[in-house]
Amino acid sequence: MQSPNRYQIALLSAYALALHGFESMFPSPVPWLRLGLANIVTLITLLLYGLRAAVTVTLIRVVLASILNGTFLGPAFLLSLGGGILSTLSMGFFASLTPRLFSATGLSLIGALFHNGAQLLLAYALFIQRIEAVLLITPLIVLLGTLTGTINGIVSELIIKNLKKSGEKIQNVDT
Amino acid sequence: MNFREILKFTTVADRVLFSILILLSLLGLIFVRSLIPGGNSVEIDVDGNLEYVLPLDEEKTVPVQGPQGTTLVEIRNHRVRVVESPCQNKLCIQQGWVEHGVIACLPNKVLITVGKNGKRSSEPDAVTE
Name the CA dihedral angle for A126, A63, B86, A119, rounded to a multiple of 10 degrees.
Answer: -40
What phi-psi label fits residue B109: left (phi over 0), alpha (psi between -120 and 50 degrees) or beta? left
Residues ≥6 apart with Cβ < 8 Å to B47: B66, B67, B109
Q: What is the CATH number of the domain that holds A108?
A: 1.10.1760.20
Q: What is the CATH number of the domain that holds B59?
A: 2.60.320.10
Chain centre distance of CA B76 = 19
Q: What is the pLDDT of residue B121?
A: 46
Q: What is the pLDDT of residue A171?
A: 56
Q: What is the mean pLDDT of residues B59-63?
A: 88
Q: pLDDT by residue (tens digit) across B83-117?
A: 888 887 788 888 888 877 788 888 888 888 887 55
Nearest CA in chain A to B9: A103
Bridge partners of B70, per DSSP, are: B65
Nearest CB partner across the interface for A102, out of B13, B102, B106: B13
Residues B79 and B104 in one domain: yes
Residues ≥6 apart with Cβ < 8 Å to A98: B13
Residues B47 and B106 in one domain: yes
Q: What is the mean pLDDT of residues B16-21?
A: 95
Residues ≥6 apart with Cβ < 8 Å to B40: B55, B56, B57, B116, B117
Longest pairwise C-alpha distance within chain A: 55
Bridge partners of B60, per DSSP, are: B75
Query: How many domains are contained in chain A?
Result: 1
Which of B21, B27, B110 should we substitute to test contact with A (largest number of A Cβ atoms within 10 Å)?
B21
Residues B107 and B55 in one domain: yes
Q: Is residue A171 part of a domain?
A: no
Residues B26 and B51 in one domain: no
- Range of the structural domain that residue B8 is part of: 3-35
Q: Is residue A172 part of a domain?
A: no
Q: Do B29 and A135 touch (CB under 8 A)?
A: no
Task: Using DSSP, state whether A91 is helix, strand or coil.
Answer: helix
Q: Which helix (H) or strand (E) holds A8?
A: helix A6-24
Q: Is residue B120 part of a domain?
A: no
Q: Is residue A147 part of a domain?
A: yes
A-chain CB neighbours of B88 within 8 Å are none
Complex-level ipTM = 0.86
Q: What is the pLDDT of residue A54?
A: 96
Sign of CA dihedral B95, B26, A90, A124: positive
B18 touches chain A (CB under 8 A): yes
A20 vs B32, residue with greater confidence: A20
Distance from CA of B56 to the nearest CA of A (A): 18
Secondary structure of chain A: what % helix, strand, coil (to 5)? 75, 0, 25
- Range of the structural domain that residue A103 is part of: 6-165
Report, as ranges of residue numbers, the positions in chain A whose pLDDT lies below 50. 174-175
Q: Is residue A175 part of a domain?
A: no
| DSSP per-residue string spanning A27-43 | PPSSTT----THHHHHH
Q: Is residue A86 part of a domain?
A: yes
Q: pLDDT by residue (tens digit) across A48-57?
A: 999 999 999 9
Chain centre distance of CA B77 = 19
Q: Do A132 and B106 touch (CB under 8 A)?
A: no
Nearest CB partner across the interface for A103, out of B9, B28, B102: B9
Name the CA dihedral angle for A99, A93, A35, A124, rounded to a multiple of 10 degrees.
Answer: 150
What phi-psi label fits residue A69: left (phi over 0), alpha (psi between -120 and 50 degrees) or beta? alpha
